[in-house]
A = this chain, B = another copy of it.
Amino acid sequence: MREKVTINDVARLAGVSKRTVSRVLNESPVVAESSREKVQRIISELGYQPNPQARGLAASRSYLIGLVYDNPDPFFMESVIRGISSVCIEKGYELVIRPSDRTDPNLVDQVINFVSRAQIDGVILPPPISEMDAIAEELEANGVPCVRLAAAQIDEPHRLVISDERSGAKQMTEYLINSGHSRIGYISGPKGLKSTWERREGYLDALRSHDLEVDPDLLIRGAYTFESGVKAGRELLSAPQRPTAIFASNDQMAIGVVNAARELGLTVPADLSVAGFDDHELAAQIIPSLTTIRRPVQLMATLAAQKLIATIDGHHDAASDDCVLNPELVLRDSTAPIS
């Protein structure tokens, strides 16, 4: 390591005690402006960087924030990571990552073990792990703050960043309705996930508010996978009175629907409009490109990291109040007005 500069060097050169240097490092408000400036100057001259191990040992902190996840979409995770990382760099934290297995019965213990072994200062939980209340509770019980990324209001605002998926799904459905579609098939996600519920409710909200009948035959359960999309698409499209539009609640399934349609000799969007959710990278690449809903994932992660670090540092960040972000409708080639 090229840096061997310690707080003592800074103190000596600045002509103050190391206690004072420590004060400016920790932004204590009781330092004279003149001392602060002097110390700051020496710090940057020397390129001094406080040793995180030493700070951690003395203050029992680690400047490490943890990311525990088991999300099947690496694109989503990549955005989350970039979002968190940018604020970590800015605030002097590091991002420690922990891929997990949400089906592991010992997950709670493993998470606790992780944070206590590494002395993690705080944790960010993306879905679907964010939906496991036991983890959030156990973390708090151990004095480790956490912030959750979610699809709906599942915790207090200061530990939560949500993208309102219900309103996203409603937007999409209304767009389809306004394009003249009235028989709109819907493929939901698997049971037990918040997003499954929220997106489905958004679809139903739109139907209801436009006085459209909810036909149970148009509502099929999927599994957020390509295959389940193909299957559900076939089913929907081989019904006697088939829908003119299908809203699949994620892009993987929507792509499956496009394939199912092709099998049956239907052209998208001429014969069938198909919409997805997530704005998966493929959504823009497949032919036809997919109309979908985009969540501001990176922004969500940034916000989450800001909230978490504010909590750890004991500041009360302004960002801690608002926690709801709105997804955005992305129009592409897979949907069209009814002819």
Q: Are A52 and B98 in contact (CB under 8 A)?
A: no
Contacts of A63 in B (CB 8 A): 118
- 0 or 1 for each of A158-173: is its CB under 8 Å from B? (1 = yes): 0000000000000000
Q: Are A116 and B1 in contact (CB under 8 A)?
A: yes
Q: Are A118 and B94 in contact (CB under 8 A)?
A: yes
For the complex, give the distance between the alpha carbons of A54 and B61 in Å: 11
- 0 or 1 for each of A127-154: is its CB under 8 Å from B? (1 = yes): 0000000000000001110000000000
Residue A2 at the B interface, CB < 8 A? Answer: yes
Chain B's closest residue to A83 (CB) is: B99
Q: Are A97 and B81 in contact (CB under 8 A)?
A: yes
Q: List 23 A-B contacts (CB under 8 A).
A: A1-B115, A1-B144, A2-B112, A2-B142, A52-B62, A52-B117, A52-B118, A52-B119, A53-B54, A53-B57, A53-B60, A54-B57, A64-B94, A64-B96, A74-B74, A74-B75, A74-B78, A78-B99, A82-B99, A92-B117, A94-B118, A259-B287, A282-B282
| 8 A-B pairs closest in CB distance | A74-B74, A53-B56, A74-B78, A53-B57, A226-B285, A97-B97, A94-B96, A94-B118
Contacts of A78 in B (CB 8 A): 74, 77, 99
| Given contact pairs A1-B116, A119-B51, A85 touches B99 in the complex (Cβ within 8 A) | yes
Contacts of A85 in B (CB 8 A): 97-99
- Name the contact of A119 in the complex, choosing from B1, B97, B117, B118 (C-beta under 8 A): B1
For the complex, give the distance between the alpha carbons of A144 and B1 in Å: 7
Q: Are B56 and A1 in contact (CB under 8 A)?
A: no
Residue A215 at the B interface, CB < 8 A? Answer: no
Residue total for A at the interface (Cβ-Cβ under 8 A): 44
For the complex, give the distance between the alpha carbons of A19 and B116 in Å: 23
For the complex, give the distance between the alpha carbons of A99 and B118 in Å: 21
**Chain B nearest Cβ from A62, distance in angstroms:** 6
Residue A49 at the B interface, CB < 8 A? Answer: yes
Residue A232 at the B interface, CB < 8 A? Answer: no
Chain A positions within 8 Å of B, measured between CB atoms, are: 1-3, 49, 51-54, 56-57, 60, 62-64, 74-75, 77-78, 81-82, 85, 92, 94-99, 112, 115-119, 142-144, 226, 255, 259, 262, 282, 285, 287
Contacts of A97 in B (CB 8 A): 81, 85, 95-97
| Given contact pairs A96-B94, A99-B82, A142-B2, A116 touches B49 in the complex (Cβ within 8 A) | yes
Tell me which of A53, A62, A282, A285 has the highest count of chain B C-beta atoms within 10 A of its own C-beta: A53
Q: Are A49 and B117 in contact (CB under 8 A)?
A: yes
Contacts of A95 in B (CB 8 A): 96-98
Chain B's closest residue to A75 (CB) is: B74
Contacts of A52 in B (CB 8 A): 53, 62, 117-119
Contacts of A119 in B (CB 8 A): 1, 51-53
**Chain B nearest Cβ from A22, distance in angstroms:** 16
**Chain B nearest Cβ from A49, distance in angstroms:** 5
